[in-house]
């Protein structure tokens, strides 16, 4: 029997958890449980369920993912298809990639109301979530590049991906990405002007003028892209060295994910020291998937061109989710690091 879609944390019952476990092939009966919020997500909320059993044996704990309690964040999750994409990713695409993921016990979504969804997954404890504010060193970045090759490589230029409608970004308020950037940029500058340097603010304005040259809706080289490939969406240690979570993928550039990670996760002095070596490491691992149409020079060019990713995410996302103290710190850190990277790599020249 398939469990019902239990789409709010307070709807969870011992019987529902028991049904989920039986559905996953675990013959056990949950008698009681406790729950506790974990993580730092803004569009979604993660709840750890500690389980007690009256019959059989099962995992001592599970993590459930649900939509955010904040109405603004929920509406954004619906508008950008993030809730739908995560459920369908685990159901339809995850098994075709060579990336470390949490085990999924159950997932469901109401298509007519996509903020009503649930994903019940493996508790990766004692794994530690990456810290976007703290950043990372080259060894951590190397782990991320290894997993990234396992995302991008297996479905490299697979034409069947273009037949998956939900991988394409939905229109938001009938606006193109460039129009959305232009629409939200004044509010971003008004809110954060005092937190950014003059050079970074000028870069935001210059990017807005050339955004149509940045957006590339039909790239010749494409694959599965995580889209939000950063430290907060990674779990280190526990059952795996590194596990990638929080999926809302799309068609894109693997080098774009690499640039987004490096430009949001590493301070400039650390990044520039090992940057080219780390991207070469990513490219070398890609070649193991029998990819012969992508030279390192092309990869490096794509990496430079996509170095605005963290800045673009900061401008847009900060304006369409609930404002929080940590969120402000995170978006400013992402904008600052990504801007430093784009300026160092002279990325604006590639948009002319």
d(CA 79, CA 198): 32
pLDDT above 70 covers what percent of the chain? Answer: 95
Query: Which of the listed ranges 3-7, 48-52, 77-81, 115-119 does the model predict with the highest average pLDDT?
Result: 48-52
Enter the tokens of residue 153: 């490589």
Q: How is residue 89 annotated by DSSP?
A: I
All structural domains of the chain: 9-122 (3.30.200.20), 128-351 (3.90.1200)
Nearest CA-CA partner of 180 in 211, 156, 216: 211
SS3 label, residue 129: strand
d(CA 120, CA 106): 5
Nearest CA-CA partner of 94 in 140, 150, 26: 150
Least trusted range by pLDDT, from 18-32, 279-293, 313-327: 313-327
d(CA 261, CA 252): 14
Determine which helix (DSSP H) or strand (DSSP E) holds 313, and give its type and residue range.
Answer: helix 309-320
Confidence of residue 171 (pLDDT cuts 50, 70, 90): low
Segment 83-122, tens digit of pLDDT: 999 999 999 999 999 999 999 999 999 988 889 999 999 9
Residues ≥6 apart with Cβ < 8 Å to 44: 65, 66, 67, 68, 77, 82, 83, 86, 246
Confidence of residue 1 (pLDDT cuts 50, 70, 90): low
For residue 172, pLDDT beyond 70: no
Q: Average pLDDT in the 283-289 region?
A: 96
Nearest CA-CA partner of 309 in 279, 337, 275, 349: 337
d(CA 49, CA 21): 13
For residue 157, pLDDT beyond 90: yes
Structure confidence at residue 2 (pLDDT): 67
Nearest CA-CA partner of 318 in 208, 184, 193, 179: 184
Segment 10-45, tens digit of pLDDT: 999 999 999 999 999 999 999 999 999 998 777 889
Enter the tokens of residue 152: 């991008």
Structure confidence at residue 21 (pLDDT): 96
Q: How is residue 172 annotated by DSSP?
A: B
SS3 label, residue 186: helix
77 neighbors 45 (Cβ within 8 angstroms): no
d(CA 120, CA 108): 9
For residue 134, pLDDT beyond 80: yes
Sheet bearing 234-237, strands edge to edge: 128-129, 234-237, 240-244
SS3 label, residue 52: strand
Whether the model pTM is above 0.85 = yes
For residue 217, pLDDT beyond 60: no
Structure confidence at residue 322 (pLDDT): 85
For residue 261, pLDDT beyond 70: yes
Point out which residues pair with 313 in neighbouring strands: none
pLDDT above 90 covers what percent of the chain? Answer: 80
Nearest 10 degrees: Cα torsion 10, 86, 107, 55: -70
Structure confidence at residue 352 (pLDDT): 82
Confidence of residue 6 (pLDDT cuts 50, 70, 90): confident
What average pLDDT does the chain have? Answer: 92
């Amino acid at each position: 029997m398939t469990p019902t879609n239990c789409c709010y944390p307070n709807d969870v019952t011992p019987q529902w958890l028991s049904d989920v476990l039986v559905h996953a092939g675990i013959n056990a009966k949950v008698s009681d449980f406790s729950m506790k919020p974990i993580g730092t997500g803004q569009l979604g909320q993660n709840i750890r369920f500690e389980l007690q059993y009256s019959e059989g044996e099962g995992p001592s704990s599970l993590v459930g993912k649900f939509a955010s309690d904040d109405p603004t964040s929920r509406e954004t999750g619906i508008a950008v298809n993030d809730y739908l994409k995560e459920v369908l990713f685990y159901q339809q695409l995850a098994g075709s990639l060579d990336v470390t993921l949490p085990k999924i016990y159950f997932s469901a979504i109401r298509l007519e109301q996509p903020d009503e969804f649930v994903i019940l997954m493996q508790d990766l404890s004692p794994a530690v979530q990456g810290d976007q504010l703290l950043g990372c060193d080259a060894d951590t970045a190397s782990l991320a590049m290894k997993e990234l090759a396992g995302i991008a490589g297996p479905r490299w230029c697979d034409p069947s991906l273009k037949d998956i409608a939900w991988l394409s970004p939905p229109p938001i308020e009938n606006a193109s990405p460039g129009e959305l950037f232009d629409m939200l940029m004044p509010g971003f500058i008004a809110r954060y002007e005092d937190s950014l340097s003059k050079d970074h603010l000028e870069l935001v304005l210059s990017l807005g003028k050339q955004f149509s040259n940045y957006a590339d809706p039909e790239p010749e080289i494409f694959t599965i892209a995580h889209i939000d490939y950063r430290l907060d969406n990674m779990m280190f240690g526990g059952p795996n060295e590194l596990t990638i979570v929080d999926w809302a993928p799309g068609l894109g550039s693997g080098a774009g994910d690499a640039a987004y990670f490096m430009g949001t996760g590493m301070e400039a002095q650390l990044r520039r020291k090992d940057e080219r070596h780390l991207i070469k490491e990513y490219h070398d691992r890609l070649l193991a998937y029998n990819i012969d149409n992508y030279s390192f020079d092309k990869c490096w060019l794509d990496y430079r061109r996509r170095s605005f990713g963290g800045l673009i995410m900061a401008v847009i996302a900060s304006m369409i989710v609930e404002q929080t103290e940590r969120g402000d710190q995170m978006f400013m850190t992402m904008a600052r690091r990504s801007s430093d990277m784009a300026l160092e790599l002279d990325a604006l020249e590639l948009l002319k």
